[in-house]
Amino acid sequence: MAAAANTPRDRGFSGPLERIDDCTWRIPRSYRPDMRVDGVIFADERLLPQLRSDRAPEQVADVACLPGIQRASLAMPDIHWGYGFCIGGVAATDPAAGGVVSPGGVGYDINCGVRLMRTDLDLEDVRPLLVPLIEQLLRDVPVGVGQGGRHVFPADDLRLLMQRGVPYLHDLGLATADDVSCTEAEGCIADAVPGSVSDRALARGADQCGTVGAGNHFIEVQVVDRVEDPQAAAAFGLREGQVCVLIHSGSRGLGYQVCEDALRSLRDAPAKYGLSLPDRQLVCAPVESPEGRHYLGAMRAAANYAFCNRQLLMWQVREVFARVLGRSWESLGMTLLYDVAHNIAKVETHEVQGTARELCVHRKGATRAFPAGHPQIPVRYRDTGQPVIIPGDMGRASWVMVGGPRSLQRSFGTTCHGAGRCMSRTAATKAARGRNIGAELERGGVIARSRSREGLAEEQPQAYKDVDVVVDVVHRAGLSLKVARLRPLGVIKG
């Protein structure tokens, strides 16, 4: 079968989509002889035209061919074309059944993710200072392609950081105990192997921890404009009119290089292990093979780097707020609500056909969403459920949700990660010609600043699906439930 990734994405998907319910569609295993399980996509009628216009569903079918895959190849409503896996793709493989790990199921930006910080500030406290606040953030926080920052780690220190994650920064006085406890996995994925990270990756990451980067990464000042679940909002420390800060970034050049190195080193693994794949971008190796363990060790190290990157970004944001508002960040109540990973493969215990199994869960542009009572949720949130943070575009909204009661059974404890692109960056830039995106956003009440004109053009609101629709789908599917809607006030981008 020809590689699906070699087919232009704009040809659309003509295969079968069978309706399971109002927000779930099936690509039946019978669609292709190499599929081992069904494909399942969470979407509703509003998203169906976009779903049909993109070849991403074919990637869902491709992933259904992976050795050891369990239940189904899944995709969230923010689905769009990606490398190997679609963005929004989820797949769990069983190492005991020959299950594989695939770098394409994690992506180039390992542990790209978001963290949301609360404040004690109200909208009226910030509104008069919003422009100087956003412009000071742009001056003080490194943003843009290739930008380095003030936190420079020699190779030995960088290896310690990748081994220990955010607790390492705590020992340096750059994180509080609360910051550690409110980060997914407490900011440290176990069994990281920094020694598996190449010298080239170390060099790229030496001065990029604490930098935003470019593309869809950002720092956004927001206000809570609606509370949907008062009880969960109270548990999360959220209220209407409250100012929050959302940070979106990942593992920068270090993570990109780890992925690049892995794709190169795994090139011959499928032939070595007798794996037949529909797309070379799904290059993989058995989880328990030397190649699989090597990639997982390096990926975990890069994931810990990403947790630290967002921690250092938050530390700098606190400093800017303190400088502009003339008060310490502690007195401003700038505390971390939660930090979640979007691009990662984690070994987790899930029930399959009534039996608990250790599975390798790939989440590519997807958020962990464990329900109330799960032991991996911080104690403070355990009675409520895991906080889930869903960024939208910079002109509309973002959402705080909570892990839903059906997530473990339906999606291995996973939900969407954002609005999802509906326009490529090239198309978005073309659509922005002759327009001033910054001025358009300002007329809508959002102060946007970027290092480049292209940064705003590529990320204009029209390039994304409506996050309210995407969130509504996962809410109705029981994957994650609405808690509060946050409206953007100001944003900085690369």
Six token digits for residue 69: 């895959």
Between CA 366 and CA 285, with CA 183 as vertex, the angle to 5 degrees is 45
Phi, psi of 343 (to 5 degrees): -125, 100
Q: Do the Cβ atoms of 178 and 336 come closer than 8 Å? A: yes
Query: How does DSSP classify residue 413?
Result: S
Q: Which residues contact 24 (CB under 8 A, 6 or more apart)?
A: 40, 41, 42, 43, 477
Distance of CA 215 to the CA centre of its chain: 13
Determine the 3-state secondary structure of 457 from DSSP: helix
Q: Which residues contact 213 (CB under 8 A, 6 or more apart)?
A: 143, 144, 145, 147, 249, 250, 252, 494
Determine the 3-state secondary structure of 86 from DSSP: coil
Six token digits for residue 402: 């909570």
The candidate with the shortest Cα–Cα distance to 24, out of 406, 344, 343, 401, is 406
**Domain locations in the chain as residue ranges:** 4-493
Q: What is the spatial distance between Cα 397 and Cα 311, in angstroms, rounded to a whole number?
A: 23
Q: What is the spatial distance between Cα 332 and Cα 322, in angstroms, rounded to a whole number?
A: 8
Determine the 3-state secondary structure of 178 from DSSP: helix
Q: What is the spatial distance between Cα 186 and Cα 169, in angstroms, rounded to a whole number?
A: 12
Determine the 3-state secondary structure of 463 from DSSP: helix
DSSP 270-288: HHHTT---S-GGG--EETT
Q: Do the Cβ atoms of 23 and 41 come closer than 8 Å? A: no
Domain with residues 4-493, CATH architecture:
Alpha-Beta Complex (3.90)
User: Does residue 5 have a pLDDT over 60?
Assistant: no
pLDDT tens for each residue of 312-337: 999 999 999 999 999 999 999 999 99
- Burial environment of residue 2 by CB neighbours within 10 A (0 to 12, 13 to 18, 19 or more): exposed
The whole-number pLDDT of residue 190 equals 97
417 catalytic per annotation = yes
Relative orientation angle of helices 290-325 and 130-140, to the nearest 10 degrees: 140
- Indicate which residue of 248, 294, 342, 417 is catalytic: 417
The whole-number pLDDT of residue 8 equals 45
Query: 326: left (phi > 0), else alpha (psi -120 to 50), else beta?
Result: left
What is the pLDDT averaged over residues 40-62? Answer: 96
pLDDT classification of 7: cutoffs 50, 70, 90: very low
Q: E strands along 51-131, which residues?
A: 72-80, 87-93, 100-101, 113-122
* Amino acid at the residue 61: A
Q: What is the spatial distance between Cα 24 and Cα 486, in angstroms, rounded to a whole number?
A: 26
User: Does residue 419 have a pLDDT over 50?
Assistant: yes
The whole-number pLDDT of residue 10 equals 57
pLDDT tens for each residue of 100-125: 999 999 999 999 999 999 999 999 99
User: Does residue 141 have a pLDDT over 80?
Assistant: yes
Between CA 460 and CA 476, with CA 401 as vertex, the angle to 5 degrees is 95
User: Does residue 285 have a pLDDT over 80?
Assistant: yes
pLDDT tens for each residue of 349-375: 999 999 999 999 999 999 999 999 999
The whole-number pLDDT of residue 452 equals 81
Query: How does DSSP classify residue 184?
Result: G
